Amino acid sequence: MVSTDSSTSDIEGCGTVSGGGPILCVVGARPNYMKMAPIIRALAAFGDAVPPVLVHTGQHYDAAMNDSFFTALGMPRPAVNLEVGSASHAVQTAEIMKRFEPVLDAHAPAAVLVVGDVNSTIACALVAAKKGVPVVHVEAGLRSYDRRMPEEINRVLTDQIADLLYTTERSAAANLHAEGVADERIVFVGNVMIDTLLANRSAAVPASTTLAGLPLAASVFATGREPRYGVVTLHRPSNVDDRDTLGRLIGALNTISRQLPLVLALHPRTRARIEEFGLAAAFEADRVAILPPQGYLEMLGLMAQATLVLTDSGGLQEETTALGVPCLTLRENTERPITIVEGTNTLCGTDAARIVHEATDILATGGKRGRSPELWDGRAAERIAAHLASWIAARGAVAAGPAPSIPAILKAA
Ligand code: UD1
């Protein structure tokens, strides 16, 4: 049910620690890994001040959604894997909580650090908060203001119970203030996912390697010009769980593919729905290549050379902005407004005619150029580690002295 791996932890800076208590760093699902990798490295560089112990909830478990990322990102193997797997939101969240509690008790951590907005994030944050263990939330304060998204609920609740909230863009602080989060708890550090992108850019797998042998490769890599193709990802329940919506999106993709060959990296949820709805044959097979979920370096290579990315992912909106590649977000809202205001992202909803119109416009004009947002500079994890080390030290000092007051502790950091 719960597996521990003590063999790797001490060697790789993720083991149990003498004195102080470690920082339990929680990952659960694919988008967490690229956020946590630089944090683990930066915390480990501080030695005993903020030693990380990596805990995996097992929310994602397929090799293509999981193992390959640890290898590509040079992440240590988790010291603990809760192996929860898939289930309804209630069961998955509850199961993570049940299995995380004894891990928390055993490690007596100085803090629990969670990233992003997946079910693992809120589940572990809630266990820690109820036990009086400080919760640190990385990528705090993002809001779509759409409570139909499970991630929005996870974000709002995690931020309410977090003691320390690290943000990726300045708009996040205003969202948090509006929800009553004290300014002293909020620290703008930049974007750890972009740390990973910048660190791995030169190691990205070229698109020509990933797409070699596919029927559309000849039209993508015509000699004498830049590769021309679009990258597509779709996995939000609101886009893929309803047959009409998914069918409509596939129709729009087919239309675009007549101008631009498309590569669709398929999430397991989307693959299951396509099969369930009998939509597998709906794709224009010679113009839309369907691939399994891609590894980090493969996906980075595909995005970096793409003419256009169409997605409903939060992470890809940010990564395309950092890469300067035009992105069409197939949603009605985004929790990452900076990608629209400063970056290359355009929100275009799920209306087929609108999606085709926006894509055609990008093909004609080259799309938004954008610029890299403030502090998306590859050093966000270093800022987190430095701040967290002094915050933990200040808490320790206050605990040993007169009665602590939260603002005083934070000012001391
Ligand atoms: C989760 C996150 C979402 C994130 C996405 C990235 C929540 C609420 N959602 O959504 O924010 O953008 O991860 O992928 O936490 N499955 C597999 N193998 C796996 C994992 C999942 O086959 O390794 C299938 C199962 O059928 C499962 C379904 O995918 O029921 C959904 O998985 P789940 O972890 O519940 O949510 P995601 O849709 O992946």
Q: What is the CATH number of the domain that holds 51?
A: 3.40.50.2000
Pair of tokens at residue 383 = 């800022």
Residue 198 domain flag: no
Residue 17 domain flag: yes
65 lines ligand 1 (CB under 6 A): yes
Residue 201 domain flag: no
Rg (CA), the chain: 21
Q: Are residues 212 and 239 in the same domain?
A: yes
Structurally, how many domains does the chain consist of?
Answer: 2
Residue 88 domain flag: yes
Q: Are residues 356 and 393 in the same domain?
A: no
Query: Out of 18-27, 28-37, 97-106, 270-279, which region has the weakest mean confidence (pLDDT)?
Result: 18-27
Q: Are residues 34 and 153 in the same domain?
A: yes
**pLDDT tens track for 193-211:** 999 999 999 999 999 999 9
269 lines ligand 1 (CB under 6 A): yes
Q: Are residues 141 and 117 in the same domain?
A: yes
Pair of tokens at residue 244 = 């009409």
Q: Is residue 139 exposed (0-12), middle (13-18) or buried (19+ Cβ within 10 Å)?
A: buried
**How many A from CA of 235 to the centre of ligand 1?**
8
| ∠ Cα 202 204 210 (to 5°) | 150
**pLDDT tens track for 145-182:** 999 999 999 999 999 999 999 999 999 999 999 999 99
Residue 371 domain flag: no
- Report the percentage of the chain scoring pLDDT > 70: 92
Residue-range definition of the domain harbouring residue 181: 3-190+376-412
What Å distances lie between residue 222 and 219, 262, 278, 286, 287, CA to CA? 6, 15, 33, 16, 15
Residue 19 domain flag: yes
Q: Are residues 326 and 180 in the same domain?
A: no
**pLDDT tens track for 63-86:** 999 989 999 999 999 999 999 999
Q: Please give the backbone phi and psi of residue 178, each rounded to the nearest 5 degrees, phi first.
A: -65, -20
- Residue with the nearest Cα to atom 35 of ligand 1? 86
Residue 318 domain flag: yes
Residue range 334-341: average pLDDT? 98
Choice from 62, 86, 91 to test ligand 1 binding pocket (greatest atom count within 8 A of CB): 86
Q: Are residues 166 and 250 in the same domain?
A: no
Count of CB atoms situated within 10 Å of the CB of 396: 14
Separation of alpha carbons 241 and 12, rounded Å = 40
- Is a pLDDT exceeding 80 seen at residue 279? yes
Pair of tokens at residue 212 = 């070699």
Assess contact for 191 and 372: CB atoms under 8 A. no
